[in-house]
Chain A
Amino acid sequence: MDKYIYMDNAATTPVKKEVLDEMLPYFNVNYGNPSSIYTLGSKSKNAISISREKVAKAINADPREIFFTAGGSEADNWAIKGVAYANKDKGNHIITSKIEHHAVLHTCEYLEKEGFRVTYLDVDQYGIVDLEQLKKSITDDTILISIMFANNEIGTIQPIKEIGKIAKEKGIYFHTDAVQAIGHIKIDVNELNIDLLSMSAHKFYGPKGIGALYVRKGVKIDPLITGGGQERNRRAGTENVPGIVGMGKAIELAYENLEGKNAKLIKLRDRMINKILEKIDYVRLNGHPTNRLPGNVNVCFEFIEGESILLSLDMEGIAASSGSACTSGSLEPSHVLLAIGLSHEIAHGSVRLTLGDFNTEEEVDYVVEKLAEIVSRLRTMSPLYEKVKEGK
């Protein structure tokens, strides 16, 4: 195949043309500072308002509950640190899960050093949090529950409605890192009893460097970034106007015909999963078979290592990712794969392929064909595969 095949849409997505077109004037035509009183400033201010309404509408929130940030990591940091510090007179206990994104996990670890107590919930073999353990973990000191909407690696979607219900009954704030879910799954913050929700535009065909935190009216939260009075004194710093405009357009587009797009994506995803399981032996699917993000495929190939699979895919013009130690920059494989009970050996052979709006059936078939060749080639080099063949 001549063209580059991009199957890493959970890492980032290309900015859609309609999105880019709306952003461009805000770089050099309507470049005014939204805080300035003259007309040029007002144009920027209006553009932000319109975007805020679009983002709010997408999750059934009030525009005054949407605060723009520099991305998902900032939103996660702000939600967790901001709620922790603002409510420390009420308690010092936070509940999260073992499979959160590092933006949540490392923030919780930071707060532990600051004297907070954190419970990291276990997940089952599919990556679903243990609700009984959640209920048992709640104490009078619990001030925040932070559970991701859907996992970035294995795509598993959490029982958010049940968690929201538990949190509401106990009067505990519920934050969800919805970076992977927003724009891909219908989310209603009221129906799901979500108090804080993190999002990032570049995961749904918007630009990088812009995200938002939804904060339900009445939630006590300290600012993370102090300075000017932007974002109603909650988040200082001159607004990233082109980014905000792009995020608004991208979220609007994402929720247009979502069901139709998802039906197509799920079909592609399942075609890919089934073909991989059928054509390649010693392979396992990671995550839940059905309760997973529409574009997420995550598999482990035994006896070979993820990075060498990715390099081989790249040589064929295919972009994917892995949870192996060698791609994470650490010596440990993915914490998510270990949390669902995989051994280190198996986790090293993981490959994540995430499909998006631009992938086709032809690409899926081509990638599976190439994967089969690559896996087979790497296995001929593997001393582990040799032992299996010999029945050791």
Chain B
Amino acid sequence: MYSEKVMDHFRNPRNVGEIEDADGIGEVGNARCGDIMKMYLKIEDGVIVDVKFKTFGCGSAIASSSMATELIKGKTIEEAMEVTNKAVAEALDGLPPIKMHCSLLAEQAIKAALYDYAKKNNVKIKGLENFNPVEDIHDHEHA
């Protein structure tokens, strides 16, 4: 059902945990739908120097979160903004069609954490001007 990469990131998720003095925290999804992702960012001089996540969800939700943290760690805010759900899914060697929303949730988690950072530090991030963390990815996807 899942690729080796997904199973690897599920088995040994990278960057699990919290950052106590995080500069940005984003939480997306909801328990009713069975997945919640929470992402913590440490940002110095516009660079994501550390990132951690916590996820409630299925195997692909955990693997997508893990992969998303890998893709943005050490990257600039601008580079992180370019990480799409497609990029997360591709980096995992693909996700089953019904699980694609997990990668979208991961993209949203990154953006929600960056949005939180921008708000707290009163900075503007290109692409987040009208950001509105999607409450329910499922409705969004399947409506």
Residue numbers of A with Cβ under 8 A of B are 303-308, 311, 315, 324-326, 329, 331, 333, 343-345, 348, 380-386
Contact = CB atoms under 8 A, between A and B. Distances in A.
Given A305-B57, A305-B58, A381-B55, A331 B31 contact: no
A382 B54 contact: yes
Nearest to B33: A331
B142 A381 contact: no
Contacts of A343: 32
B34 A380 contact: no
Q: Determine the main DSSP class of A at the interface with B.
A: helix
B62 interface: yes
A344 B35 CA distance: 11
Contacts of A324: 34, 58
Interface string B96-109: 00110000000000
B56 A303 contact: yes
Nearest to B96: A329
B31 A384 contact: yes
A344 B31 contact: yes
Instruction: Using C-beta atoms within 8 Å of the partner chain, give the interface range for chain B.
Output: 20 to 34
A345 B31 contact: yes
30 contacts: A303-B56, A304-B56, A305-B61, A306-B58, A307-B58, A307-B59, A308-B10, A308-B61, A311-B59, A326-B59, A329-B98, A331-B34, A331-B138, A331-B142, A344-B31, A344-B34, A345-B32, A381-B54, A381-B55, A381-B62, A382-B54, A382-B55, A382-B56, A383-B27, A383-B37, A383-B38, A383-B54, A383-B56, A384-B36, A385-B56
B133 interface: no
Interface string B38-57: 10000000000000001111
B53 to A, nearest CB: 8
Given A305-B58, A311-B2, A331-B142, 5 more contacts: A305-B61, A307-B58, A344-B34, A345-B31, A383-B56
B92 to A, nearest CB: 14
Contact of A308 (B32, B38, B54, B59): B59
Contacts of B58: 305-308, 324, 326
Contacts of A329: 98
B31 A380 contact: no
Nearest to A326: B58
B119 interface: no
A304 B62 CA distance: 11
A305 B98 contact: no
Interface stretch (B11-19, B70-78, B82-90, B121-129): B11-19
Rank and list the top 6 A-B pairs by shortest CB-CB distance, nearest first.
A326-B58, A307-B58, A345-B31, A348-B34, A383-B38, A383-B54
A252 to B, nearest CB: 37
Nearest to B65: A381
